[in-house]
Amino acid sequence: MDKAIRCLPRQNDPNLIVGLDRADDAGVYKLSSELAIVQTVDYITAIVDDPSAFGMIAAANSLSDVYAMGGRPVTAMNIIAFPSDTMDISVMTQVLSGSLVKLIEAEVTLVGGHSVRNSELKYGLSVTGVVHPERVITKSTARVGDRLILTKPLGTGILTTALKAGLLKAETKAKLTEQMVRLNDKAAMAMVDVGVNACTDITGFGLLGHTCEMAENSQVAVEIFVDKVPFIPETLEFARMGLVPEGMYANQEFRVDMVKDSETDEDLLSVLYDPQTSGGLLISVPAEKAEALLASIRQGGDGEAAIVGQVVDKPESQIILV
Ligand code: CO
Ligand code: CO
Ligand code: CO
């Protein structure tokens, strides 16, 4: 897909701050010297059985790319593919209502949307946010010496796979859902307040995939402190049982050459590559600000946020697991 996009002719618009040239979480376009818009679109298949929870998760997931750019989301539009031949229309109402709960929490106004008939339920949002043109946070500007903070524990891909297999305890399912519906708004606000060098959010490529992107774009190397990476209880147990989503294997295969590792347990590695839905932010912050930022992120409700790595002066585009 990347290839198909890369071969498109480029438009030379001087107001384009973040576009297709370097993969980032959202596009950023300058409207004036004081104001830029942040635009993103994202939709997902139903990963939980409760339609309202699915709507909430999809909304949190779609909003996250605006937060990752240091932006404040303002408006949103629904995108829904709905199997109206096999599913009652009340399901659609529940999905959209769940989503609206999160939009209201985020102080984002729903302004419209688009629906199509489809064999499979898919839902997400196109979100528009605002940011000062000089305060855009990309994933291309991590600097040597930075610490990396991950704001949410890993495991949503493995645990939703276990959920589909009917193996998840009610308690773990509640924890999983709570984490995926939680907005990245407070963590983003804390990061904007303190001032950081780079940020991205952890989604389909997993922690290592998104770290690779940040390292590649920033032309730096990164050490990941494997023992410090938080994950949701039972994630590792299910990985050991082989309940790993297909996307994990694709993520690993794609990045295996960049990741230097000799002794990480194979199942733990699966967790590090596990594709996330509505995952946390990965923030690259100057070392002297890291502890204070971590404390304020935890205070904001991301109690398991942790310093999981650092940017190091080694050959660029390497991820070293330590
Ligand atoms: Co993203
Ligand atoms: Co996205
Ligand atoms: Co339309």
Q: In what helix (H) or strand (E) does residue 62 lie, and over which residues does it extend?
A: helix 51-68
How far is the centre of ligand 2, averaged over its atoms, from the C-alpha of 61 (Å)?
8
Identify whether residues 183 and 250 lie together within a single domain. yes
How far is the centre of ligand 3, averaged over its atoms, from the C-alpha of 81 (Å)?
12
How far is the centre of ligand 2, averaged over its atoms, from the C-alpha of 22 (Å)?
14
DSSP 185-202: HHHHHHHHHH--SEEEE-
Query: Confidence band (pLDDT; 50, 70, 90) for 8?
Result: confident
Identify whether residues 121 and 161 lie together within a single domain. no
Decide which of 131, 157, 172 is a domain's last residue.
131
Identify whether residues 121 and 41 lie together within a single domain. yes
Identify whether residues 159 and 293 lie together within a single domain. yes
Query: Confidence band (pLDDT; 50, 70, 90) for 1?
Result: low
Identify whether residues 151 and 261 lie together within a single domain. yes
How far is the centre of ligand 3, averaged over its atoms, from the C-alpha of 145 (Å)?
48
What are the start-end ranges of the E strands in the chain? 16-18, 27-30, 36-45, 72-82, 109-117, 122-131, 147-150, 198-201, 221-224, 259-260, 281-285, 306-312, 319-321
How far is the centre of ligand 1, averaged over its atoms, from the C-alpha of 64 (Å)?
7
Ligand nearest to the CA of 126: 2
The total number of structural domains in the chain stands at 2
**CA terminus-to-terminus distance, the chain:** 32
Output the domain CATH number for residue 234: 3.90.650.10
Q: Evaluate if residue 84 carries a pLDDT over 80.
A: yes
- 72 part of a folded domain: yes
- 117 part of a folded domain: yes
- 141 part of a folded domain: no
Q: Which residues contact 245 (CB under 8 A, 6 or more apart)?
A: 157, 158, 160, 161, 274, 275
Q: Evaluate if residue 28 carries a pLDDT over 90.
A: yes
Decide which of 131, 156, 175 is a domain's last residue.
131
How far is the centre of ligand 1, averaged over its atoms, from the C-alpha of 41 (Å)?
10
- 136 part of a folded domain: no
Identify whether residues 90 and 158 lie together within a single domain. no
How far is the centre of ligand 2, averaged over its atoms, from the C-alpha of 25 (Å)?
6
- 263 part of a folded domain: yes
pLDDT digits (tens, 9 = 90+) for 87-110: 999 999 999 999 999 999 999 999
Identify whether residues 90 and 162 lie together within a single domain. no
How far is the centre of ligand 3, averaged over its atoms, from the C-alpha of 117 (Å)?
12
pLDDT digits (tens, 9 = 90+) for 269-318: 999 999 999 999 999 999 999 999 999 999 999 999 999 999 999 988 89
pTM value is 0.96
pLDDT digits (tens, 9 = 90+) for 107-157: 999 999 999 999 999 999 999 999 999 999 999 999 999 999 999 999 999
Please give the pLDDT value at position 249: 97
Query: Confidence band (pLDDT; 50, 70, 90) for 9?
Result: confident
Ligand nearest to the CA of 279: 1
CA atoms within 13 A on the CB side of 94: 13
DSSP 138-151: -SS---TT-EEEE-
How far is the centre of ligand 2, averaged over its atoms, from the C-alpha of 292 (Å)?
28
Query: Confidence band (pLDDT; 50, 70, 90) for 31?
Result: very high
What amino acid is encoded at 290 in this protein? A
How far is the centre of ligand 3, averaged over its atoms, from the C-alpha of 124 (Å)?
15
Ligand nearest to the CA of 80: 3
- 294 part of a folded domain: yes
- For residues 22-42, average pLDDT: 96
Identify whether residues 156 and 252 lie together within a single domain. yes
Identify whether residues 264 and 234 lie together within a single domain. yes
How far apart, in whole angstroms, are the C-alpha atoms of residue 318 and residue 306? 21
Identify whether residues 177 and 290 lie together within a single domain. yes
Ligand nearest to the CA of 23: 1
Identify whether residues 168 and 80 lie together within a single domain. no
Identify whether residues 182 and 285 lie together within a single domain. yes
Output the domain CATH number for residue 107: 3.30.1330.10
- φ, ψ at 154 (rounded to 5°): -85, 170
Residue carrying the six token digits 């489809």: 118
